[in-house]
């Protein structure tokens, strides 16, 4: 009788462990920002932004060069400059700094606006891409990488989501 009980208990243990094994979660971790901004659509948006703000970039670089030249000249020639020359250089430098600041703020605001519009327009496709990867990979749990303290790269499905996003956007 004891041996039958032991065999039944052992069989129950095996059955329980096989059921538990069959229900092990398949975990994936996705970096949403990386998946979205590595997509072809994001690269096209970035190229359009570069083209749109290329003139501002060149102007900012030119102003930066002029500002550095003014500072170098002021440091080099400080001892032989008159007070009016020093004031003029200081005034020119401040004007160039203000122009640089204005360009930077305008470009930054436009960039943030474009990126937010892009995220909003891609939100539905991103959700569909994640859902497709989950179904194809049999994932039972997908976590946002921003919410996970640590994970091994074998769980990272961001590149799969980007590939699926590219596929959906074609």
The string of pLDDT tens digits covering residues 8-25 is: 334 344 444 444 455 688
In a domain, 3, yes or no: no
In a domain, 110, yes or no: yes
Q: Is 115 exposed, middle or buried (0-12, 13-18, 19+ CB in 10 A)?
A: middle
Any bridge partners for residue 29, and if so which? 143, 156
In a domain, 34, yes or no: yes
In a domain, 73, yes or no: yes
All residues at 6 or more sequence positions from 26 whose CB lies less than 8 Å from its CB, including other chains: 137, 138, 139, 140, 141
Range of the domain at 151: 25-168
Radius of gyration (Cα) for the chain, nearest Å?
Answer: 30
In a domain, 11, yes or no: no
Number of domains in the chain: 1
What whole-number distance in Å separates Cα of residue 22 and Cα of residue 122? 35
In a domain, 17, yes or no: no
In a domain, 115, yes or no: yes
CATH of the domain at 105: 3.30.910
131 C-beta neighbours (distance < 10 Å), count: 13
In a domain, 32, yes or no: yes
Please check whether residue 157 is in contact with residue 133, taking contact to mean a CB–CB distance below 8 angstroms: yes
Give pLDDT tens digits along the chain (170 positions): 454 444 333 434 444 444 445 568 899 999 999 999 999 999 999 999 989 999 999 999 999 999 999 989 888 988 898 899 989 989 999 999 999 999 999 999 999 999 999 999 999 999 999 999 999 999 999 999 999 999 999 999 999 999 999 999 98
pTM score over 0.85 = no
């Amino acid at each position: 009788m004891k041996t039958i009980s032991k065999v039944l208990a052992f069989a129950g243990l095996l059955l329980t462990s096989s059921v538990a094994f069959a229900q092990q979660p398949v975990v994936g971790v996705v970096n949403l920002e990386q998946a979205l901004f590595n997509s072809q659509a994001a690269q096209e948006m970035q190229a359009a932004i570069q083209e749109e703000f290329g003139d501002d970039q060149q102007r900012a670089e030119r102003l930066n060069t002029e500002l550095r030249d003014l500072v170098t000249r002021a440091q080099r020639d400080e001892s032989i400059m008159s007070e009016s020359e020093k004031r003029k250089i200081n005034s020119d430098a401040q004007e160039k700094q203000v122009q640089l600041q204005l360009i930077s703020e305008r470009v930054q605001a436009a960039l943030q606006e474009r990126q937010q519009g892009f995220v909003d327009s891609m939100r539905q496709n991103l959700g569909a891409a994640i859902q497709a990867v989950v179904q194809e990979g049999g994932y039972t749990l997908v976590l946002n990488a921003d919410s996970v303290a640590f994970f091994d790269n074998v769980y990272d499905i961001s590149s799969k989501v980007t590939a699926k996003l590219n596929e959906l956007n074609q």
